Each structure stands twice: as structure tokens, then as C-alpha cells.
């Protein structure tokens, strides 16, 4: 219940500030926001991939898809308690493998996974 309240307040706050999260596709616990230049079909394919590969946990997950300089950027919200922790080599390798798989299976173009706070602002953690 708390997660829904946080997501609702966050959505209200972002809309009040004039920052668009984009349109949304829902798939169970997963909400995928996408900006115009990504397109609904890509958001649907992404949400199916994410769900079919067991990347959605029990808690509500919110992701944003955006195209920046010709690259599909997948913005993942990280829990605040992990913000200060740098990625291990293994975690970075897993993210790179996931990016390659998403390029091949979903988007057919370059993909970057960006770790963000709950307002989709990047947290500098990757090399």
C-alpha cells in the first residue's frame, strides 16, 4: 500500500513540476512509462520481455523508456538505501549482458540502462 502512495505522490509531484513521465503501459506489478520517441509498441515489447524474464519482483516497479542521442535509455529506479553503493564488476557485467539482450530481443538498436532515483534523475554509478 505504501508503494502505491509513493508512486501516486511522485506522479503528482512530477506533473506539478511540468516534467512529463510520458505515456504508460501496465503489466501486473510493472509500469513502463515511455516518451513519444520510443513508442507504445516498444514499451509493450519491453514490458513483456521484463515480465517473461522474471525481472519484476513482488513490489511495484516503475521504469521509464526514453531515446537520448539515438540510444534507448531504460531508467531503473534504485532503492535509496543502495544509492551510495558502487556496482561490483559482476553487477556491471550483468547490466551489460542485459543491455545486449534487450538490443537483440526487443529494440534492434543500442540500449543503455541508467540507474536513477525515484524522480528518474541519474545516479552516477556506472563506469
Q: How does pLDDT run across 66-78, given as a tens digit for each residue?
A: 999 999 999 988 7
For the chain, what percent of residues have pLDDT higher than 90?
39
Q: Is 14 part of a structural domain of the chain? A: no
- Strand 61-68: give its sheet, edge to edge: 23-27, 30-34, 61-68, 71-77, 111-116
Domain that holds residue 38: 22-116
Q: Is 109 part of a structural domain of the chain? A: yes
What is the model's pLDDT at position 119? 84
pLDDT, average across residues 24-49: 91
Q: Is 9 part of a structural domain of the chain? A: no
Lowest mean pLDDT among 61-65, 75-79, 97-101: 75-79
* Backbone torsions φ then ψ of 49, nearest 5 degrees: -60, -50
3-state secondary structure of 67: strand
Task: Give 125 or 46, the one with higher predicted confidence.
Answer: 46
Q: Is 78 part of a structural domain of the chain? A: yes
Whichever domain contains 65, its CATH number is: 3.30.300
Alpha-helix residue ranges (DSSP H) falling in 17-127: 40-52, 89-102
What is the model's pLDDT at position 16? 47
What is the model's pLDDT at position 105? 95
What domain count does the chain have?
Answer: 1
* Backbone torsions φ then ψ of 21, nearest 5 degrees: -85, -15
Task: Give 109 or 122, the one with higher predicted confidence.
Answer: 109
* Backbone torsions φ then ψ of 122, nearest 5 degrees: -65, 145
Amino acid at each position: 500500500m505504501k508503494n502505491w502512495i509513493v508512486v501516486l505522490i511522485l506522479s503528482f509531484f512530477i506533473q506539478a513540476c511540468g516534467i512529463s513521465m510520458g505515456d504508460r503501459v501496465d503489466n501486473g506489478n510493472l509500469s513502463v512509462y515511455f516518451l513519444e520517441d520510443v513508442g507504445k509498441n516498444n514499451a509493450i515489447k519491453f514490458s513483456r520481455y521484463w515480465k517473461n524474464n522474471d525481472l519484476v519482483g513482488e513490489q511495484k516497479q516503475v521504469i521509464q523508456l526514453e531515446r537520448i542521442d539515438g540510444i534507448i535509455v531504460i531508467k531503473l529506479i534504485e532503492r535509496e538505501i543502495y544509492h551510495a553503493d558502487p556496482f561490483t564488476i559482476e553487477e556491471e557485467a550483468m547490466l551489460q549482458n542485459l543491455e545486449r539482450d534487450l538490443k537483440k530481443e526487443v529494440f534492434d538498436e543500442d540500449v543503455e540502462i541508467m540507474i536513477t532515483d525515484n524522480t528518474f534523475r541519474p545516479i552516477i554509478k556506472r563506469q
